[in-house]
Amino acid sequence: MLLGRRWTATAFVTGGVALSFAWTAAAPAGAATPGSPGQEPRKPLPLERLFDNTAVSDDGGPGGADFDGAGNSLSAQDLRAAGWAPGRTLTIDSARLTWPRAAGHARPDNVRADGQTVRLHGRGDGLSFLVAGTGGEASGAGVVRYRDGSSSTYTLTAPDWRSGPTGTRAVALPHINSGAGQRVETARLYAVTVPVERGRDIASVVLPRDPGAADLHVFAASVRRAAAGWTGSWSASSSGYTAVGPWTDQTLRLVVHTSAGGPRARIRLANTFAAAPVRIGRASVSLQAEGAAADGDPVALTFGGREGIEIAAGAQEFSDPVGFDVPPDANLLVSIHLPDTVQAVPVHSQATQRSYLSPPGSGDHTADADGDAYTGTLTTWPFLTGVDVGGGPGSVVTLGDSITDGTKSTTGANRRWPDVLARRLLGQSDVPAYGVLNQGVSANRVVTDRYPGEGVSTDTGGVSALNRLERDVFAQTNARTVVVFEGINDLRWGTSAEQLTAGLRALAQRAHERGLRVVVATIAPCEGESLCTADVDARRSAVNAFIRDSGGVFDAVLDFDAAVGDPLRPQRIAPAYDSGDHLHPGDAGLQAMADAIDLRQLTG
């Protein structure tokens, strides 16, 4: 008899509220669980055939919908202003979700989950739902049925549309409608992904039954398909949403460094955290010659066969594959024309790399081989979050803070420890030459948000590692292993050793649910930095003791503490490895960390 599996999906949110993640073996497929094969199955129907609630009203008739049972609703005009037009397919965390065609037309546009069976097909690495709770956070267990007769269960949690966390929301809207009119109050929708059995063909999905006092509303659902045939070569995490320029009719020429190479390429542009859509006029990719100059004519990129694309608030877009020979360990120029006025952008703030910008009103220079038009410089990466190459064995994701991000390494030299790791992988044949994706964010923490995830801000420390895990690890192209090196910022700002170890446990558990190998590094010392007190070092030592003797919580451990610590004074970085601020290793220290990795630990 085939056994089912049960997946319980939860996320840490700002303020320390935790919705835990767990995996347990479930009952056999014939056992009675909500919507299980032990009950009379319902005929699978397309999701829109099951809609029984109207969430969206027109501002001209704000009482025309009742999302929450109290006459309140979402604004159709706010949704359109965010780029969420009825019937539009949005890519969120690499899953394609279609906003209901009925939204804003005074017709049902979502279903309140209560055991309905949804017709969904395909193989993938997760099921993605566009959801919100009303009356509070809503949670319940559902079932995935596979064509081979097996099943797995999952738990879907929908944060409340008015009071849910900001760090994990898909989109935030500025108004709520009611029969009494429109009021200024934030409404939020969430994209939530739950695990499935990889490789099995999904036949249908049973929604959670009776989630309790709150209602769990589902607007869209899809299978997130695995990125077969692609390897992630470069990536960066959106770490905040910052004011710029404004930029009007200008071209960005962003310099990025590859890890793996391949015969074709695509890029990923993201409008994470944004309040409004952004229009990309044209985009191109080329090898860098020097500065903003390309080595040959740039290769034009398209999006669904079109030269440009509008990216909705909170969404992302992949370019079409293009025949372009991407060398490993090389600099690329990715050029993006912004034809409209842009006042704020999602950004990776600490690029440790100089990129380029043309003047206001200068137009489209994506096809320029020379760099003459690029008179301005940037030290950030706006919009661009990934470069993928065709073929290859898949990717290792390095999840961390400023030390992983490369702070205090030499600008433009690509001496971050993930860069060194990538070169080590390229220079050997004992393990697969994985692409290495750097998801380090300066000032980031494991269990609490720095940037709240909503609004224009000068803080670019990102949402917590737990809150960005779905976007920055699970949704990364063909991710096989995650290397976690983070926690010193939590400790420097008062997090207890127990809270941090609980966060690392939760992170590992969630990654294991998705079939990823989890490698965790010990936390490096920092005596001499102003916030690195003796108490911080004591808590650091306690966390490192847990990491070194975690009893199978992690698949492997890297001892970065030992790699850069001073043998004569373990509380501090060895002077030869210290950048000078006593917190960040310099180039030699980053090299020592990468050299300390046994590459076999990445594969098991």
Q: Do residues 342 and 246 make contact, with C-beta atoms less than 8 angstroms apart?
A: yes
Q: What pLDDT was estimated at residue 452?
A: 96
On the question of pLDDT at 9 being above 70, the answer is no
Q: What pLDDT was estimated at residue 41?
A: 60
Q: What is the CA radius of gyration of the chain?
A: 24
For residue range 37-72, what is the model confidence (pLDDT) as tens digits?
344 467 999 999 999 999 999 999 999 999 999 999
Is residue 126 included in any domain, yes or no?
yes
Instruction: Give the residue, 210 or 528, on which the prediction is more confident.
Output: 528
Q: Residues for the chain: how many in total? A: 604
Q: Which residue has the tokens 């600008």?
A: 411
CA 319, chain centre distance (Å): 18
Q: For the chain, what is the mean pLDDT?
A: 93
Is residue 153 included in any domain, yes or no?
yes
Largest CA distance in the chain: 73
Assess whether 258 and 183 both reside in one domain.
no
Which two structure tokens, joined as six digits, stand for 521? 């590094």
CA 426, chain centre distance (Å): 26
CA distance 303 to 301: 7
On the question of pLDDT at 471 being above 70, the answer is yes
Domain count, the chain: 3
On the question of pLDDT at 8 being above 60, the answer is no
Q: What pLDDT was estimated at residue 212?
A: 77
Helices 587-595 and 417-426: crossing angle, nearest 10°?
A: 50
Calculate mean pLDDT across residues 494-521: 97
On the question of pLDDT at 28 being above 80, the answer is no
**Whole-number percent of the chain with pLDDT over 90:** 91
Q: What pLDDT was estimated at residue 42?
A: 76
Q: Do residues 335 and 269 make contact, with C-beta atoms less than 8 angstroms apart?
A: no
Single residue among 356, 389, 422 that ends a domain in this structure: 389
Assess whether 376 and 412 both reside in one domain.
no
Assess whether 398 and 533 both reside in one domain.
yes
Assess whether 190 and 259 both reside in one domain.
no
Q: Provide the 8-state DSSP code for 73.
A: B
Assess whether 436 and 339 both reside in one domain.
no
Which two structure tokens, joined as six digits, stand for 459? 């803080």
Confidence bin at 384 (pLDDT 50/70/90) = very high
Confidence bin at 25 (pLDDT 50/70/90) = very low
On the question of pLDDT at 422 being above 80, the answer is yes
**Whole-number percent of the chain with pLDDT over 70:** 93
Single residue among 165, 192, 224 that ends a domain in this structure: 224
For residue range 288-312, what is the model confidence (pLDDT) as tens digits?
999 999 999 999 999 999 999 999 9
Contact partners, residue 45, CB within 8 Å, separation at least 6: 116, 117, 118, 119
CA distance 559 to 579: 19
- For residue 570, whether the previous peptide bond is cis, meaning omega lies within 30 degrees of 0, is no
Q: What pLDDT was estimated at residue 14?
A: 36
CATH number, residue 546: 3.40.50.1110
Nearest to 403 by CA among 207, 182, 591, 216: 591
On the question of pLDDT at 210 being above 90, the answer is no
Assess whether 70 and 216 both reside in one domain.
yes
CA distance 277 to 563: 45
Confidence bin at 544 (pLDDT 50/70/90) = very high
Assess whether 506 and 579 both reside in one domain.
yes
Assess whether 202 and 327 both reside in one domain.
no
For residue range 513-523, what is the model confidence (pLDDT) as tens digits?
999 999 999 99
On the question of pLDDT at 175 being above 80, the answer is yes
Is residue 506 included in any domain, yes or no?
yes
Assess whether 201 and 255 both reside in one domain.
no
For residue range 265-294, what is the model confidence (pLDDT) as tens digits?
999 999 999 999 999 999 999 999 999 999
Calculate mean pLDDT across residues 20-49: 53
Assess whether 119 and 22 both reside in one domain.
yes
Q: Do residues 132 and 514 make contact, with C-beta atoms less than 8 angstroms apart?
A: no
On the question of pLDDT at 538 being above 80, the answer is yes
Is residue 230 included in any domain, yes or no?
no
Is residue 231 included in any domain, yes or no?
no
Note down the domain range covering 520: 393-604
Assess whether 210 and 289 both reside in one domain.
no
* Full-model pTM: 0.93
Q: Do residues 582 and 532 make contact, with C-beta atoms less than 8 angstroms apart?
A: yes
Q: Provide the 8-state DSSP code for 515.
A: T
Is residue 568 included in any domain, yes or no?
yes
Which two structure tokens, joined as six digits, stand for 456? 């224009």
Q: How many CB atoms lie within 10 A of CB 579?
A: 18
Confidence bin at 213 (pLDDT 50/70/90) = confident
Q: Which residue has the tokens 């030459």?
A: 433
Is residue 232 included in any domain, yes or no?
no
Which two structure tokens, joined as six digits, stand for 117? 């069976």
- Least confident piece of the model among 14-18, 231-235, 254-258, 482-486: 14-18
Confidence bin at 604 (pLDDT 50/70/90) = confident
Single residue among 340, 372, 389 that ends a domain in this structure: 389
Map 516-577 to HEC letters.
CEEEEECCCCCECECCCCHHHHHHHHHHHHHHHCCCCCCCEEECHHHHHEECCEEEEECHHH
Assess whether 302 and 209 both reside in one domain.
no
CA distance 383 to 279: 11
Is residue 233 included in any domain, yes or no?
no
For residue range 149-165, what is the model confidence (pLDDT) as tens digits?
999 999 999 999 999 99
Nearest to 510 by CA among 537, 541, 484: 484
Q: What pLDDT was estimated at residue 37?
A: 39
On the question of pLDDT at 432 being above 60, the answer is yes
Instruction: Sort strands 479-485 and 395-400 into parallel, antiparallel or unpaired.
Output: parallel
Calculate mean pLDDT across residues 574-582: 98
